[in-house]
Structure 1
Amino acid sequence: MQNQAVKKLSPFQQPTEEQAQLITEAKQFIKTHIHDSKPAILVITGDAGTGKSVVLSQLFYDLQQAAHDATSPLAKTQNYFLVNHPELLKMYRNIAGELPGLLKKNFQRPTSLINQLNKKQARFDVGVVDESHLLLSQPDHYNNYYGHNQLLSLLKLCHVLVIVFDDHQVLRLKTYWTRTRLKHLLVPYTQKWVHLDHQFRMQADDSLINWINHFTGDRQLLPLQPSFRSHYDFRIFSDAEKMRQAIVNQNSQVGLSRIVSTTGYPSTLDGGRHFITEGQFHLPWDQYNYTATPWAELPETINEVGSIYTCQGFDLNYVGLILGPPVKLSADGQRIEIDTAKITDGESFKHRDDLNDPQELLNAKVQLNLNAINVLMKRGVKGLYLFAHDPALRQRLNQEYQAIIN
């Protein structure tokens, strides 16, 4: 258990001053509201890579130590760490198996805990929810959830919830959240909102983070700056196979380097293998991972293409990102467009009754795709490599890239 993802989430890591202050605030919030007559909720916001999961990991460890301390106000509390992401849950459970006071059974998927406690007509004290933007916001019979909103279901079962929320990481209509929707939902509850600012994951300068944020936000394609490469290995490729070879080389040198892609290529949940082909590049999508080891840590996945479903929440050293067919350059060459007709991820856009306005649904599809790009672009600690399927976008990116490296 010496990989960087586990080290990052270890409760024995020294938190920054900002993180330590937030952990202290969270513990005080919990102690203040643990015996309230109605649930209370602390919402931690922040962009991808700002250390939200680090805060939660250390907070939960402290809560579990307090639960076993007879002198603590939180003695004998029943607490759970919840995450609706099977790959991330594996990592947390692996950490729990090696640390005193943490049990794997305290780390659960929300549906499992909700169904279990409802059956027993039981409650719990404190819930810590990582990636709360992945909580279901509608029934999902496939996953055995028959309520209408997982966040509300959890609030009915506990005294205090601490959640991390990033509306730029919402990826599916069945987990469709916006900040406005969340605030409206939480009106009846005691609540506190706090925000993390500093980017910890990417060793990149602010100009590159700003470039990514515009690319996936207002879709403006800002000029590439020479400073991009000063502290971070940022590259644009005109050949996807050459990008793959570069990622394989980085993986052999430093490990945890993978190819990932946006939607736009054949992908069906039928148990078969579906390939992404770009010229000489030809690799299958990630396969369902039945092991206890997260996908990114399996050596053989260097020969697969990762997706948002296997990479969200994880740190990789190097990421080679394929921007698939839906990601295009606008006719005037200034903006990014999302062609929703070329989306192949049908699971993300299943119908929901409360999104009946065609324009709202179209806007949601565009935003979910931009969110996925943002998530994938911010996976790499040491480097980000890009290849664009769209010829016009590929040419534009390569022209600017060659201008700053020559």
Structure 2
Amino acid sequence: MQNQAIKKLSPFKKPTQQQAEIINEAMTFIQAHIHDAKPAIFVITGDAGTGKSVVLSQLFYKLQQASRKETGPLANTQNYFMVNHPELLKVYRNIAGELPGLLKKNFQRPTSLINRMTKNQAHFDVGVIDESHLLLSQPDHYNNFYGHNQLISLLKLCHVLVIVFDAHQVLRLKTYWNQERLRTLLAPYPQKWLHLDQQFRMQADNSLINWIDHFTTDRKLLPLQTSFRLHYDFRVFSDAEAMRRAIVNQNNRVGLSRIVSTTGYPSTLDGGQHFITEGHFHLPWDQYNYTAPPWAEIPKTINEVGSIYTCQGFDLNYVGLILGPPVKLSADKQKIDIDSTKLTDGESFKHRADMADPKEIEMAKVQLTLNAINVLMKRGVKGLYLFAHDPALRERLCSEYHTI
């Protein structure tokens, strides 16, 4: 997977016309504001799989080439690429290790850069942030962040930020963002917003992508056009073990195929193994990955269940998704319900002081769960396989979208 990820994010990959236009506009924006007294921010929005990371990778390479020139508006600038995702950071640093003009030290976790710059009373010129929806929006002592908001902390340390933002990929209360919150926060700063809308990851037609989007927003189960199967392998399974065997077969055939799951099963960061059991299906959750290769690149992880934390931002060829106990069919059998009492990812739903209203917290829990499902459903380039824990949902999915 690492080679595939590097190839996808290579600065030498030819961008689409839309991507090239955004890269050029970002460079123009940076040059216009690099010497301003007040920091400026360039925001790129887009759903999962629309090429946001590709744009940032190519933009940062151009930025670093310009910084090494003796003259010009960006000559001798000090710039950093940030991502608050350890698995994705490994890929970017590996890209830096293989390409001229890029240094691994220029790719950082936001907290590390904020703490170092603050301690040294230093500043930098341009920051490029992938997956900015993962930035902390409150203090987090566990991650050694003692400010109030990572985005504001970074704006105080630089001249220009370029970020990509997808509200549908917000996954934790401590990184709780939406477009309204982001626009309110950025109101005092010079800014420009652009949007990417072409889907690149999934080799699926609009019927299936639209089905996923409705499943994870208004929670409706739309009908599917039969033509979508001509381009994409979408299957619903009544048996999780049968789905696992199908994923193993695809992994043997084309590689990069894995089982993943939503929350709802035993999961505690205590160093021990925690299993997902569904009938004859019995596999452990992924463990924290201390190795350089990303989780899905490690061969033995075909015998683990991936989580949102190991898969977000990555491409798989085939993904088998288990919709866990919180994901249920509504009483009227017309839509999806999220039972927040069955959520087991305690780290994602820790209390935050600025969210005291129980209704707001409940709405946030539901939305974060739907966001995670959206991200997991859009991991597969060639195929998506589904199994639902809830018997009523499983029966509805199997009857409407064919049983395997």
TM-score range normalised by the length of the shorter chain: over 0.9
CA contact (8 A) 2:202 2:381 kept: yes
For residue 328 of structure 1, what is the aligned residue in structure 2? 328
Deviations 1:115-165 (A, max 9, x none): 000111000000000000000000000110000000000000000000000
1:348 aligned counterpart, secondary structure? coil
For residue 240 of structure 1, what is the aligned residue in structure 2? 240
Taking only aligned residues, the RMSD between alpha carbons, in angstroms, comes to 1.0
Q: CA deviation at 1:72?
A: 2.8
Instruction: Give me the whole-angstrom Cα distance separating, in 2, the residues matched to 1:390 and 1:290.
Output: 34
Gaps of 5+ in 1: none
For residue 356 of structure 1, what is the aligned residue in structure 2? 356
TM-score, scaled relative to structure 1: 0.98
1:349 aligned counterpart, secondary structure? coil
Instruction: Give me the whole-angstrom Cα distance separating, in 2, the residues matched to 1:117 and 1:336.
Output: 46
Q: CA deviation at 1:226?
A: 1.1
For residue 185 of structure 1, what is the aligned residue in structure 2? 185
Count of residue pairs the alignment pairs up? 404
For residue 310 of structure 1, what is the aligned residue in structure 2? 310
For residue 294 of structure 2, what is the aligned residue in structure 1? 294
Alignment of 1:99-138 (within 5 A): 99-138=99-138
Instruction: Give me the whole-angstrom Cα distance separating, in 1, the residues matched to 2:103 and 2:303.
Output: 34
Instruction: Give me the whole-angstrom Cα distance separating, in 1, the residues matched to 2:244 and 2:125.
Output: 47
Instruction: Give me the whole-angstrom Cα distance separating, in 1, the residues matched to 2:322 and 2:393.
Output: 12
Q: Does 1:218 align with 2:223?
A: no
For residue 146 of structure 1, what is the aligned residue in structure 2? 146
Q: Does 1:19 align with 2:19?
A: yes
Q: Does 1:162 align with 2:162?
A: yes
Q: CA deviation at 1:2?
A: 7.0
For residue 227 of structure 2, what is the aligned residue in structure 1? 227
CA contact (8 A) 2:66 2:75 kept: yes
For residue 174 of structure 1, what is the aligned residue in structure 2? 174
CA contact (8 A) 2:2 2:293 kept: no
For residue 32 of structure 1, what is the aligned residue in structure 2? 32
Instruction: Give me the whole-angstrom Cα distance separating, in 1, the residues matched to 2:227 and 2:51.
Output: 24
Deviations 1:54-87 (A, max 9, x none): 0000000000111111133211000000000000
For residue 345 of structure 2, what is the aligned residue in structure 1? 345
Q: CA deviation at 1:224?
A: 2.8
TM-score, scaled relative to structure 2: 0.99
Percent of aligned positions that are identical: 81
Deviations 1:222-252 (A, max 9, x none): 1232122110010100010010011111111
Runs of at least 4 residues of structure 1 off by over 3 A? Answer: none
Instruction: Give me the whole-angstrom Cα distance separating, in 1, the residues matched to 2:177 and 2:126.
Output: 22
For residue 195 of structure 1, what is the aligned residue in structure 2? 195
Letter in 1 for 2:120: K
For residue 89 of structure 1, what is the aligned residue in structure 2? 89
Instruction: Give me the whole-angstrom Cα distance separating, in 1, the residues matched to 2:364 and 2:116.
Output: 33
Instruction: Give me the whole-angstrom Cα distance separating, in 2, the residues matched to 1:402 and 1:121.
Output: 61
For residue 278 of structure 2, what is the aligned residue in structure 1? 278
CA contact (8 A) 2:2 2:91 kept: no
Instruction: Give me the whole-angstrom Cα distance separating, in 2, the residues matched to 1:88 and 1:40.
Output: 26
